[in-house]
Amino acid sequence: MAQPILAASNRHASRLVLACLVTGFVIPMPGFADILPTVDGSVRDGLHAVKDGNPDDVLDHSIVQVLNTARPTLPFEDRGILEFNVSSLSQAAQVLLTLHTFGTVGPFPFSLDIYAYAGDGVLSLSDFNAGSLFTSVVYTGQPPIAIDVTAAISTLNLPSSGFAGFNIRKPLADNIEMNGPFAAFGSNEYPLAATLSEIPAPSTVPEPSSILLFGTAVLALRGRSWVLRAHGLLSGKMR
């Protein structure tokens, strides 16, 4: 009575192993590679100077603050600046920019404009007006925000060691006192910092190592069936 049980068990084990191997290389899990910013901070126009569209201060080693106030006293605008070294990005990859909220004040929602530019790896006054608008987001105070920047980076035509820059602005000025509304995003100094996440396209072509593993498993199962049959423990043919 033991022989049919062993035969059925062996066939089920064979099918399970083969199914796992096939699933393993036909449906691979995508990989992710996160890049932290080389530059993160803000550039300010106004506050203790005239707010006139010309930047006055660089706010480095701080949060990435986005604010635009037209209040009667000490009006100012902060634009959030991020630059990433994109030398490790694949041309075929999808790239997401993720912003993590550090602090924010409403009323919500309000609009944020995202500009893209070719950076130089240094936070400077010139970053205030850098970039071309490529998207706008409706900000509701939610963490985090994920933005597909694949096309934006592609249009920059950066060299292999270039920096992709992002200038985040609040297009409409508010006359609300006490610095509201605003959005402040995390940085290297005040985590969580923004990231560029590379998402490679999944491949359906098995790697050589997967093919070798598949072949080894098949041979091992065949060998096991021959040994069992030689000792009279397996009846029928291996299928």
pLDDT digits (tens, 9 = 90+) for 142-158: 889 999 999 999 999 99
Please check whether residue 91 is in contact with residue 162, taking contact to mean a CB–CB distance below 8 angstroms.
Answer: no
pLDDT digits (tens, 9 = 90+) for 127-144: 999 999 999 999 999 889
Looking at domain 33-199, which CATH architecture does it have?
A: Sandwich (2.60)
Q: Is the pLDDT reported for residue 203 higher than 80?
A: no
Residue of 133, 29, 35 lying closest to 83 (CA atoms): 35
Per-domain residue ranges of the chain: 2-28+204-230, 33-199
CB–CB of 56/44 below 8 Å? yes
pTM of full prediction above 0.85: no
- The three state secondary structure string of 116-158 is EEEECCCCCHHHHHCCEEEEEEEECCCCCEEEECHHHHHHHCC
Could you give the CA distance from residue 71 to residue 68 in angstroms, rounded to a whole number? 9
